[in-house]
Structure 1
């Protein structure tokens, strides 16, 4: 057995980042164990956007075509006012031609199913396993779990999301930063809403509120609503649909139709938060990845993409047999990019959640005046990025 295939990695967390990490390490010849504290692997999210940088990364993992077969391509994307008046159409087709792939929207459960199938072809995923510590030595690291079990490895990768136990163990508690708005999400199958996506989707911007609608494929539509509100004021499940109908009363009719057509009990609600960037992600033989390392707001649709990029870069860096040196190289390559997108996502959120009528007018005029070339240039460092 050669030096690489004899090496063992433990991945904590079986979300998008953790599963992509397992897949990427498998490609490099690592033995991998994946653990998740959940009792079963259920993805409770709705839709996720996979821009060109994410799709190219998924192609490197060998699952890009599976995503394209299940997801819906974004062939058209509009920004509208609250009443449906078109502000601008984004250059989705030009970006697809430039980058060699369209962006896709896919249900998170479908994405996770594809990843689980790819990973479990060689690696079982163990659920109901709460990681509590890693005991390091010069030779390796031992993962400890709350059921008393232990496992030895060469490296532990914390891909356990926003509430990461690995991050807290390494660097202590870090405060969540509230955005000033909450998000509600859902999926429906409704003709007017489906037709309004026009082979892609739109976002409608109103005072302190916005609503996005995207095709999910197979007749399904994914929607989200972002509403300015004090932290901790999420409506209970039984009131979410009525609150949405109140907040978006009189808006562009496909929005109201989508809310009405969604099964009320399935509507998700979250405060939108991130965390201040960490000065480092690694300590010895342990490191962080994805939301555990750099949780970001969803305003640029890059949370999943950045976790996928992390996974590929980390596996490449771990070709170096010196684990601490490899993790240092991983941080050096990834931290500046990820933290920049954290900052940009916060800034974008402030712009699209404006309440002041004068600022809203100026923002909409700016968006309407933005040429395709300027738009593509502005976002090229994010979605034009190649690993």
Structure 2
């Protein structure tokens, strides 16, 4: 894409947060001629979690950003999907090719470090300042004044708050304190060498039972991304030295691949996360500050859409700003993204409850349904998610 794609005057934009959403926005906005500076409070960009499943809608955005080839080269090849009972009896296995054919794109499960490096290279390392946090913003002229922890103050035409699920700017935009809600389960995740006794090399393999789930997904570089989900009360002890014993206890009697996985995982690089989401908010915009990614819509990971929706946000924001009238552009962005992401947040929470025993009878019914699943219902849901982004994502822009 050439810079001439934009018909607006270039803006001076400050992005708070250099994760997936912030970096994607940095690339999209630079492509359209804007000056972009990113700031992140962390001293080093070390992403949380081992990997991310970038579904076709996210891959489509990365293609628009000029990163499609790099992402596909670094990602895993995921050709099929399966569910088995906790003790290893196969419930269903089906190809993902119908999904890929329907949306003309494949999924790209990829290490978060690899994705972040590709995005950082695309955005430009010189545009990113680390170890500096945003302490506040205030209206100033036609834009905003941004105050940082190192004492500097920067004038910007627009501030993009892409500072994650613990966003410091969310309350400013929404206008009141926003609390995150515990989804009822804990997730352990990491990476492990891919071997045949764990799962087929090109399959997303899942074991379910007792409201728990174990997943193995090819993530590239000869490795699987794995996670364990266990319903637990909030605030249960988190001691890395006990992770293996915890998982042994939670998954005692489960299938041999699950036992092999527990014994082989490297507890030094395993992440343990209590899963939270948030009630959708109706506004992502206040003046010249706009929320993006998890700052706007933290969601349960059960649809695999957190990162993908951040990428969609980034592209749509850049497209909206083409019109030239910043306030009108932000209003259009808000209309396009608040409803779309609210629907996915609610669907992800509903799926989380079914998977993890929110209503035990519904979870048991889902297990029974899986025994008769041909793949058509699952594929239909994935197609719906991938194609529901609206005109700002469907055209080439």
TM-score by length of 2: 0.92
2:221 paired residue among 214, 218, 221: 218
* Counterparts in 2 of 1:375 and 1:44: CA distance versus 1, 3 Å: closer
Q: CA deviation at 1:110?
A: 0.6
SS at match of 1:188: strand
The equivalent residue for 1:324 is 327
CA distance in 1, matches of 2:387, 2:148: 40
Tell whether the 8 Å contact from 2:79 to 2:95 is kept in structure 1 after alignment: no
The answer as to whether partners of 2:99 and 2:382 remain within 8 angstroms in 1 is: no
Whole-angstrom CA distance in 1 between matches of 2:251 and 2:361: 21
Partner of 2:85: 81
Do the aligned partners of residues 358 and 350 (structure 1) sit closer, same or farther apart at CA in structure 2, a change above 3 Å counting?
Answer: closer
Q: Which moved more, 1:312-321 or 1:30-39?
A: 312-321
CA contact (8 A) 2:186 2:274 kept: yes
User: 1:234 and 1:71, CA in 2 relative to 1: closer, same or farther beyond 3 A?
Assistant: farther
- For residue 131 of structure 1, the aligned residue among 120, 129, 134 is 134
1:265 partner SS = helix
> For residues 331 and 359 of structure 1, do their structure 2 counterparts lie closer, same or farther at Cα, with a shift above 3 Å needed?
closer
After TM superposition, give the deviation of residue 356 of structure 1 in Å: 7.7
Distance 2:288 2:94 in 1: 44
Q: Is the 8 A contact 1:290 1:304 kept in 2?
A: yes
TM-score w.r.t. length of structure 1: 0.94
Which of 54, 58, 83 is equivalent to 2:62?
A: 58
Match of 1:346 in 2: 349
What secondary structure, in the 3-state scheme, does the structure 2 residue paired with 1:227 have? Answer: strand
Partner of 1:172: 176
Superposed counterparts of 1:1-387, under 5 Å? 4=8, 6-120=10-124, 123-170=126-173, 171-189=175-193, 191-193=195-197, 196-354=199-357, 359-385=362-388, 387=393
Of the structure 1 ranges 144-153 and 349-358, higher mean CA displacement relative to structure 2 is found in: 349-358
Deviations 1:197-244 (A, max 9, x none): 341221111112111111122221110011010001143111111111
SS in 2 for 1:142: strand
Query: Are residues 228 and 289 of structure 1, via their aligned partners in 2, closer, same or farther at CA, if it must alter by over 3 Å?
Result: same
Structure 1: how far apart are the matches of 2:258 and 2:25?
37
Q: Can you give the 5+ residue segments of structure 1 that lack an aligned partner in the other structure?
A: none
- Aligned-residue Cα RMSD (Å) equals 2.0
The 8 Å contact of residues 180 and 228 in structure 1, kept in 2 or not, is answered as yes
For structure 2, the residue ranges without an aligned partner over 5 or more in a row are none
- Secondary structure, aligned partner of 2:384: helix
